[in-house]
Amino acid sequence: MKSIESFDNPKYKLAMSLMQSKYRKKNQMFLAEGLRNVELAIENPKTIYLIFIQEDRINEPRYSNIIKNTGDKSFVVPSKLMETISDTVTSQGIVAICNFESFMIDDIDFNNDILILDKIQDPGNLGTILRTADAAGISTVICTKGTTDIYSSKVVRSAMGSLMHLKILFIDDYESLNILKKNDYKIISSSLENALDYNVLSTIQSKVAIVLGNEANGIDDKLLNLSDIKVKIPLYGAAESLNVGIAGGILMYKLKERTLF
């Protein structure tokens, strides 16, 4: 098994560069940290570019199994190098460089429900939403301009492997969403004003694109104007609103009731 000892090693330098968004976009790569995240990434062989494993971990069963399954893609590194590419307080001693694919609006599978994220800013919320979408069987996610970087370390950790399962694409303008209407989608936005009860989701028979909005400002008016229906989740206590990740989970699973019953 090969080792990397120097801060000048090109593979190490690549990992360091991927801690910045501009280099993630340039190289179409991101860092996945943590044992479970790396194990999930390995399930898709095209995803893994290489793996760094801290030298004092290589004999532990799950780590040695990763080495066995990835062969020459795994590299042993000393703790001094691992510390600089780790973004967690207590590192598990494993970081992978993963490839990601860029998708365009024309790559959408227009036969399934879609999730639209409008300027979601909090990385923890975004990762949770992506993980929930994956669990709910939604495979395509459209992010509008202003949504936080989906390949940042916090999003990757929160998504727990779901980035490898989803087709995620980005749009610069709301008008491009008209392609959904041309393909017989109902665009349904989460809103507190002039909205129907969220239970209506289980009665809609057409394909649906669910929209979740910015944590502070909600969904942009331009996107609301494109929406066919606005829905809201009732609040029975004193809270003014739900966290967008929680709201998104409720709406996505309510939508699944169309096929479950």
Separation CA 172–CA 159 (nearest Å)? 24
Contact by Cβ (8 Å): 70, 51: yes
Mean pLDDT of the chain: 95
Separation CA 23–CA 249 (nearest Å)? 31
Its CATH architecture, for the domain 2-99, is: 2-Layer Sandwich (3.30)
Who wins on pLDDT, 17 or 241? 17
Contact by Cβ (8 Å): 98, 41: yes
Domain segments of the chain as ranges: 2-99, 105-260
Q: What backbone phi and psi angles, to 5 degrees, belong to 24? A: -65, -45
Contact by Cβ (8 Å): 199, 255: no
Q: Which residues pair with 31 in a beta bridge?
A: 97
Can you tell me the mean pLDDT for 179-202?
94
Q: Which helix (H) or strand (E) holds 21?
A: helix 21-27
> What end-to-end distance do the CA atoms of the chain give, in Å?
52
The two structure tokens encoding residue 210: 């669910």
Can you tell me the mean pLDDT for 191-204?
93
pTM of the model: 0.93
pLDDT tens, residue by residue, 38-77 = 999 999 878 999 999 999 999 999 999 999 999 999 999 9
- According to DSSP H, which parts of 60-161 are helical? 61-70, 79-85, 123-135, 153-159
pLDDT tens, residue by residue, 28-37 = 999 999 999 9
Sheet containing 185-190: order of strands: 167-171, 140-144, 114-117, 207-212, 185-190, 229-232, 196-197
For residue 138, the model assigns a pLDDT of 96
For residue 80, the model assigns a pLDDT of 95
For residue 260, the model assigns a pLDDT of 60
> Which class in CATH covers the domain with range 105-260?
alpha beta
For residue 44, the model assigns a pLDDT of 85
For residue 111, the model assigns a pLDDT of 93
Chain centre distance of CA 29: 14
Among all chains, which residue has been given the structure tokens 């001693």? 93
Can you tell me the mean pLDDT for 144-151?
96
For residue 45, the model assigns a pLDDT of 77
